[in-house]
Chains A and B, each alone.
Chain A
Amino acid sequence: MTYVRDVAALARKDLLLELRARETLPAMLLFVLATLVAFRFALPADASERASVGLLWVAILFTALLGITRAFIPEREQRVLDGLVLAPVDRSAIWLGKVLATLAFLGAAELVALPAFGLFFEGVTWNTVAAVVLADVGISAVGAILAAMAAAGRARELLFPILFLPLSLPILVGGVGAAVGDDPARYLAFLALYDGVFAILAWASFEYVVTE
């Protein structure tokens, strides 16, 4: 399947770029830790479990923001994206490659964030882990295409958070609900629905974002 090989080549390229730049991953790890500490100070001691889970999700979303904002910067600097668009690859493969690389970085950040949360606040349930996994897919799928849109214009670092946050609100609901709701399965199913719907939309429409 040449499509799979194209995606693999592109995802490898994205991972290589980020690791070479050596900025994004350490920044994300440090940021999520610092944010959790800040939240610990911001929350009164007798706050409920529900409140602290919400903060975990805010920390994850903001860390994702930090990581994804720069997602298409290498391509937009000097129009390198044109090189990929010229190639006989499906444009959606470019998006999928970015999604996979983003998932890797988000996953790495969460491997730090979740234990830290368990340490600073209280234990993380399996429902939360499942919700984080599902949410990562949605965050990466939506984030990748929005990053491409933001990168096409000016003020790209300012614009991406503004585009991303409204679309991420349902993820927030799903994630927090899976942890504190009575019926976590409903929230997990909702996250899966969000992922499915927006991933398909992003996959199908990415072509139109990178061509004129």
Chain B
Amino acid sequence: MSVAVAAAVVLVAGVALALLWAPEDDDQGPSQRIFYLHVPIALTAYAGFGWGAWKALRLLWTGGQRYDLESYTAIHMGTIFGTLTLVTGSIWARTSWGVWWSWGERQLVLFLILFLFYAAYFMLRFSLPDGPGRARISAVYALFGVVLIPISFLAIRLAENFIHPVVFTRDGPQMSGDMFFTFCVCLAGMLLLAGTLYLNELAGKRLDLRLRELREALELG
């Protein structure tokens, strides 16, 4: 519960800083502020996929079944935040350049590919019967996902030559001190939010599983 409180506090602080305190960007104006949400959300999505892959590795390495739920929930978080990345990125593109989508925007394209990949993860899980077999196959797929991230990033950079040249640039790490601080607060807030949702969902699913186990044990007396 303390995580939830921390998440709420830090996130609200971060958003407040982003909207009110951080200095205005010279080039892009007020619309640049969505950067403080968009990039932390993207990084949190990566964290979700990475955590899910780590738990997947633990499952394959040790065979402990509890890692399956942890991996699944982490990837679920990653997918949710990934979808939010696409949404916030699209909004940012709209406010900055007037288009809802841009193929020159590397993060957007990368997340589109990852979205397709991890959406397929859920379809895969749905098609498999519950049990250790499903856990293993999901884990292997999660590992493929985490390898796909850098490979896709490389592919997108290579593709820029013929898909869509990068004509727009935007704020990278050359932020001023104040901007960087705001960014970090927002990042911490997003990670805490993801952590809260993760722990919450995990607890719920575990409870559900325990309930079903008990019910099944009772039925057979």
Contact = CB atoms under 8 A, between A and B. Distances in A.
Nearest to A198: B147
Contacts of B161: 177, 181-182
A186 B158 contact: yes
Contact of B128 (A153, A162, A198, A201): A153
A209 B136 contact: yes
Interface in A152-180: 152-156, 159, 162-163, 165-167, 169-170, 173-174, 176-177, 180
A166 B158 contact: no
A212 B120 contact: no
Nearest to B146: A201
B133 interface: yes
A180 B132 CA distance: 46
A156 B129 CA distance: 13
B143 A201 contact: yes
A174 B147 contact: no
Contacts of B114: 166
B139 interface: yes
18 contacts: A159-B124, A162-B123, A163-B124, A166-B114, A166-B116, A167-B117, A170-B148, A170-B155, A173-B156, A181-B162, A190-B158, A194-B151, A197-B151, A198-B144, A198-B151, A208-B60, A212-B132, A212-B136
B127 interface: yes
A125 interface: no
The 5 closest A-B pairs by CB, nearest first: A153-B127, A170-B155, A166-B117, A166-B116, A153-B128
A149 interface: yes
A197 B120 contact: no
A209 B151 CA distance: 23
B159 interface: yes
A163 B137 CA distance: 12
Interface residues of B, number: 32
A211 B136 contact: yes
Contacts of B137: 149, 152, 208-209
B5 interface: no
B113 interface: yes
Contacts of B143: 201, 205
Interface in B40-99: 60
Please report whether the interface of chain A is mostly helix, strand, loop or mixed according to DSSP. Answer: helix
A50 interface: yes
A169 B103 CA distance: 14
A182 B161 CA distance: 8
Contacts of A182: 161
B160 to A, nearest CB: 10
Contacts of B60: 205, 208
A187 interface: yes
B172 interface: no
Contact of A212 (B116, B131, B141): B131
Contacts of A212: 131-133, 136
Contacts of B159: 173, 177
A152 B134 CA distance: 9
A45 B5 CA distance: 63
B154 interface: yes
Contacts of B141: 149, 163
Nearest to A164: B120
A152 B130 CA distance: 12
B72 to A, nearest CB: 15
Contacts of A150: 124, 127
Nearest to B127: A153
Nearest to B153: A170
B127 A170 contact: no
B140 interface: yes
A68 to B, nearest CB: 15
Contacts of A145: 140
